[in-house]
Amino acid sequence: MDLLDFSDCQLYFEEPMPAEASRLIAQAATEYGEPAAELSLLRAHLLAPENLMVLVGLYRYYFYQHRLDDALAVAERSMQLSGRHLGLPADWQRLDEARLGSAAANSFGLLRFYLLALKAASVVLLRLGRTEESRARLIKLAGLDSRDQLGAGKLLEVVDEFQAPPEAAETHPELTLVAA
C-alpha cells in the first residue's frame, strides 16, 4: 500500500466543520502564543469534539507550547476517533496488515491520519523520556510500512543510535554525538 498516494481520498481537513468552530480555529491562529489561543481551540473542540482538524489544532498548540502530556492525550484521542471510524482495534498493538487493508478500503486518508497520529504519539513519548513506549509504537509502524513512507523506521534508527551503549559508538565513530 502506497502511504504517499493521496489521489482519490478525502483528507482530515476536508471534513465539514461548524462555521463557528472554523472561525475559532482561525482566531486561535491569530492569537498564537497568547493564552487566549488555547481558549479558542477548546471552544472549537466543544463545538466539534470529533472533528480531526480541531484535534490537530489542539495537538499542535500543546506540542509547540511544550505541554507534552496534553499533546499526547490529543494524539491518543485522535487515534481513538479515527480508529473507531476505520474499524481498527482500540489497542494499536493489535494492528496488522489485514486490518490496515480493510481500513484502507474504508478510507485511505483516514488510515494515513491514524498512522501519523500513532507516530505523533511516539514523538511526544520520546520528548517525555518514555523511550521504550515510543520504540514499541515505532517498531509497530515500521513493521506495517515496509517502504518507510511515514519515516518511522528512520526515526527508530535515530532513537536506537542514542540508546546504543558507549562501546557501540566506538565501532561507528560517525555516530558519536559530542556535547558542546
pLDDT band at residue 2 under the 50/70/90 scheme: very low
Nearest C-alpha neighbor of 80 from the set 106, 101, 50, 58: 50
pLDDT band at residue 173 under the 50/70/90 scheme: low
CATH architecture label of 12-175: Alpha Horseshoe (1.25)
- Residue spans per domain, the chain: 12-175
Tell me: the pLDDT tens digits for 11-69? 555 677 899 999 999 999 999 888 899 999 999 999 999 999 999 999 999 999 999 99
pLDDT score, position 133: 97
pLDDT score, position 35: 87
Alpha-helical runs (H) found in the chain = 19-30, 35-47, 52-64, 68-86, 97-106, 108-127, 131-144, 152-163, 166-171
